[in-house]
Amino acid sequence: MPLTRNNFLRRPSKVKERRSQRHGVRNAIYSVNGDKYKGEWKDDKRHGMGQQVWKSGATYIGDWKCGKPDGYGTYTKGEQLYIGEWKDGKKHGHGKCAYNELAFYHGEWKEGHRNGWGEMHYENGDVYVGDWLMDKRNGEGIIRYVGGDWYEGEWKSDVKHGEGKLYFAEKDQLYYGTWFNGEARRGTLSDYDKDEDGSSTALTDESIKEEELEVSISALEVPSSITNKEQGGADVEGSEGQIAAASKMPTDSMDDLQDKDREGPQQSVPDDDSGAET
């Protein structure tokens, strides 16, 4: 066939084009931007088992699908370590994430966010176990503060909202009532009741004594022993709800009832390279 302009500019056949694509297991391949990938390919995309090292220092080892982490894998960047399930390049399913030596999360994820049931250990020693929605405590959950106090009840947008119980370890008392946007509204305060064997009955409604005195919530001071820090990113400060006492409530008991909530977003998941740079 004579060489003509049309023949010279003619595109290569699909067979030759397919052969030139990366397919199967390959040695380390370097990108122009400094990233490195070693593993399996399919149709010129990372697919199967492989290891990606980004120029930023982030590393992912695990399953790939159509060029993105998908399946089960391990991601590291600085102090952050995630081991668990992935979907379409994002944390999705069940996984464990350590943000540093003290703070870590173990539970469910959705599209890169803590979502569903999970357990969060904060850097200051507090522990939350319960429901999450888009990196915020939302639904039913219990938080145990490092000083011995604890709250069990409903949450919304990362603050106490709905019915709940707040235990004060210093005076061995339990507050039971309703909360709105992190502030106690109306409830009762009573001595903490335990079974003879020492187990707590304060987590059930029957543990609230009949002779509990009603208190309205607006004038009780917040103890200084409770801080408004929770690890999960930057320290987050919350509003200190005050509780007003009814005339029957003893003054020494009223001074301890307060809102121990840590308001503000608990977004402790740093941005990573797993989605944008894949």
pLDDT in tens, 180-221: 999 999 999 999 876 533 344 444 444 333 333 343 333 333
How far is 2 from 88, CA to CA, in rounded Å? 49
Compute, in degrees rounded to 10, the torsion defined by CA atoms 150, 155, 159, 162.
Answer: -90
Separation of alpha carbons 171 and 191, rounded Å: 8
What would the pLDDT profile of 241-271 be if each residue is shown by its tens digit? 333 333 333 334 334 444 454 433 343 333 4
* pLDDT of residue 100 exceeding 80: yes
In the predicted structure, residue 22 carries a pLDDT above the cut 90: no
The rounded percent of the chain whose pLDDT value lies above 70 is 60
79 and 268 Cβ atoms separated by less than 8 Å: no
* CA distance linking residue 43 with residue 45, whole number of Å: 6
Residue 29's pLDDT band, with cuts at 50, 70 and 90, is confident
- Report which of residues 231 and 14 the model is more confident about: 14
Q: Residue 131: its pLDDT value, please?
A: 98
Angle at 49 between CA 43 and CA 55, to 5 degrees: 90
Q: Are 81 and 92 in contact (CB under 8 A)?
A: no
Confirm whether pTM is higher than 0.85: no
Predicted local confidence at residue 250, as pLDDT? 36
Q: What is the largest CA-CA distance in the chain?
A: 107
Task: Compute the mean pLDDT over every residue in the chain, rounded to the nearest whole number.
Answer: 74
What is the spatial distance between Cα 43 and Cα 277, in angstroms, rounded to a whole number? Answer: 19
CB 191 within 8 Å of CB 201: no
Sign of the alpha-carbon torsion through 112, 116, 118, 121: positive
Cα separation of 48 and 72, whole Å?
A: 11
